[in-house]
Structure 1
Amino acid sequence: MYKTKMPNGKLNLCGTKVARLRLAMKPKCSQRALADKLQLLGLEFTKNTIQSIESGNRFVTDIELKVIAQALGVTADELLSES
């Protein structure tokens, strides 16, 4: 049977990378600021949505992943990589 959780219990592969990239942005980018940026790109995200993604408590669709990558200035593949 297919499992939708990672062995560590997280629901996405990209949350940790999203948090790391967001915090590395210059100037610093808060979860609310990232949510605002994503809203301008067409995603109805709030600060709580970003928090849930970063903590691994929310699934991320491929469409959302593409827009998040665009907002962070990286590729979707980079968000999915484990390095």
Structure 2
Amino acid sequence: MNNICGKNVANFRKKLKISQREIADRLQLTGLDVDKNAIQRIECGKRFVTDIEIIALSKVLNCSYAELLEQ
């Protein structure tokens, strides 16, 4: 496992009823070059997530950094 936020990313995304592609699109609007496949790998714990990505994910998912990092 390469991250601890993946399951939380998936949970917050599902609460918002948006697709992995929509998350990728929203992240691209913040300046991050992330595609749907990267979101899929993040959610299943197969991809490292940088601090910059944690900040952007918290913004697009309307949650705190701490909520993304809860185990």
Counterparts in 2 of 1:35-46, with a 5 A limit?
35-46=24-35
Give the residue type in structure 1 aligned to 2:7: T
Cα deviation 1:20-48 (Å, max 9, x = unaligned): 100110xx200001100000011101000
Give the superposition deviation at 1:13.
0.6
Q: Which residue of 1 aligns with 2:10?
A: 19
* RMSD over equivalenced CA pairs, Å: 0.6
Q: Which structure 1 residue ranges, 4+ long, deviate > 4 Å from structure 2? A: none
Does residue 49 of structure 1 match 2:43? no
Secondary structure of the 1:60 match is coil
Q: TM-score, normalised by structure 1?
A: 0.83
Distance 1:65 1:19 in 2: 13
Distance 2:8 2:53 in 1: 14
Could you tell me which runs of 5 or more consecutive residues in structure 1 were left unpaired when the two chains were aligned.
1-9
Q: Which has the higher helix share?
A: 2
Give the residue type in structure 2 aligned to 1:61: T
Q: TM-score, normalised by structure 2?
A: 0.96
Distance 2:26 2:50 in 1: 18
| Seq. identity, % | 49
> How many residues are paired up?
71
